[in-house]
Amino acid sequence: MAELSLHHIDKIYDNNVQAVYDFNIDIRDGELIVLVGPSGCGKSTTLRMVAGLEDISNGNLLLDGRDITRVPAKDRDMAMVFQNYALYGHMTIYENMAFSLVLRKEDPNVIHKKVLAAADILGLTTQLNKKPSQLSGGQRQRVAMGRSIVRNPKVFLFDEPLSNLDAKLRGATRREILLLHKRLNATMMYVTHDQTEALTLADRIVCMSMGHVQQIGTPLELYDSPNNTFVAGFIGLPPMNFFDVTFENGSLHGKGFEVPLNDEEKSILANYNRKAITLGVRPEDIVEGKDLTVKVFSNENLGMNTLVHGHMGDNIRVTAKLRGWANYKNGDSVKLDFKRKHFFDKETTNAIRKGDR
């Protein structure tokens, strides 16, 4: 397989709109990188630049150390799987999967072996004589993947491949992609706006916003140590709660509420005394306790957990994900504690880590 490097990649369109700013990453052989971010953040543009479907305005793209920045898409040895499958409706599944190899004038017997092998991997052996219209969305997406596999490319590129599928099928197909990656041990770049896909699939995640890379790291790093409020808010479901607070006398003071800190947390904020910061708390890090009084306005039972939405202090909204089944009524008061806290600089929105400032 292959190592892929993107060095200082920019995308500037003819109308001077810049879609991607200084994108840098070294993708290791066999790694699955997920580009995640909201719509319009530049993730698909980056993928299309890697595929050769968009020109790279500045920077270098290296595949196994070879500069392929100006190499045409057809010569890059990469395969792309699109959101809308892009299958030929008049061809059978077999013909769809064999098509790229037929165009390359490969030996028909070799094509046959490759198609059968790919169909076997994807569980499509019994579907090979059908037309795409006879398959479900998930099966069609598997055919699109099969078409990539038969080419045995150096890099697989996925552009939101699960977005057209319903929730149940999306989960199943996601697991199939993960198994496929383990089986092929291929270098893959995967674009999605769904953070669940990103967290479950990725070896490393690239979180993007407004064309800028916000953070690159393992799923756990992004979840546990977000670089800034954007990453903290984007990764995690339900999203992190943010509160404007001031660090004073060893605790955090918000509008109408006070959050006590332990010694380690105080040491992190040692340089922020009497300064306004942003406190971030994940809903799953809020537990029933004694420090804060929250007035409930909504209670959503999810089975294993309960999402409790309420207000604390001066009408500050908070969402807690409590373990077990709870039945809080509108107007009930509940005592909660913040178990784990994240601190962010109010001006820069960057995470405050020990020794900052």
Partner 1 sequence: MNEQSVKLDRMRFTKNTQSSRLALLAIVFDVFYFVSIYKTNVDFYYNILMGASILYNLVFMLAAFLSSEGVKNYKPGFSYVLGVLGVIQIVRIFILPVKAHATTVTVGGTEILAMSNGQFVRVVIYLVASAVCLCAAAVINMQKSRALSAHIAGLEAQKA
List, in order, residues 6 or more apart from 158 with CB less than 8 Å away.
Answer: 80, 81, 177, 188, 189, 190, 191
| Shortest distance (Å) from residue 342 CB to partner 1 | 55
Q: Give the range of 109-117, 149-157, 304-312, 345-353 binding partner 1 by CB under 8 A.
A: 109-117
Do residues 94 and 135 touch, judged by C-beta distance below 8 A? no
Q: Cα(first)–Cα(last) distance of the chain, in Å?
A: 44
- What is the rounded distance in angstroms from the CA atom of residue 223 to the CA atom of residue 202? 13
- Given the DSSP bridges, would you call strands 4-12 and 18-27 parallel, antiparallel or unpaired? antiparallel
List, in order, residues 6 or more apart from 294 with CB less than 8 Å away.
Answer: 308, 310, 311, 312, 318, 320, 333, 334, 335, 336
| Shortest distance (Å) from residue 164 CB to partner 1 | 26
The answer to whether residue 108 forms part of the interface with partner 1 (CB under 8 A) is yes
Contact pick of 24, 129, 185, 350 for partner 1 (by CB under 8 A): 129
Output 107 or 264, the one with its CB closest to partner 1: 107
Output 129 or 298, the one with its CB closest to partner 1: 129
- What is the rounded distance in angstroms from the CA atom of residue 19 to the CA atom of residue 21? 7
Contact pick of 8, 70, 74, 113 for partner 1 (by CB under 8 A): 113
Q: Calculate the alpha carbon distances from 155 to 28, 106, 126 in Å.
A: 11, 20, 27
Rounded to 5°, the CA angle 102-104-110 comes to 60
**Total residues in contact with partner 1, by rule CB under 8 A:** 11
Longest dimension (CA), the chain: 77
Q: Give the range of 107-115, 135-143, 144-152, 230-238 binding partner 1 by CB under 8 A.
A: 107-115
Residue with tokens 């800190």: 261
| Shortest distance (Å) from residue 111 CB to partner 1 | 8
The pattern of x and - marking residues 141 through 180 that bind partner 1 according to CB under 8 A reads ----------------------------------------
Does a cis peptide bond (omega within 30 degrees of 0) precede residue 238? Answer: yes
The pattern of x and - marking residues 84 through 103 that bind partner 1 according to CB under 8 A reads --------x-xx--------
Provide the β-strand partners of residue 295.
Answer: 311, 333
Output 57 or 92, the one with its CB closest to partner 1: 92
The pattern of x and - marking residues 174 through 213 that bind partner 1 according to CB under 8 A reads ----------------------------------------
Contact pick of 112, 182, 323, 353 for partner 1 (by CB under 8 A): 112
Output 128 or 326, the one with its CB closest to partner 1: 128
The answer to whether residue 39 forms part of the interface with partner 1 (CB under 8 A) is no
Give the three-class secondary structure for 176. Answer: helix
The answer to whether residue 115 forms part of the interface with partner 1 (CB under 8 A) is yes
Contact pick of 15, 16, 109, 262 for partner 1 (by CB under 8 A): 109
Output 61 or 115, the one with its CB closest to partner 1: 115
Other CB atoms within 10 Å distance of the CB of residue 15: 5
Binding site for partner 1 (CB under 8 A): 92, 94-95, 108-109, 112-113, 115-116, 128-129
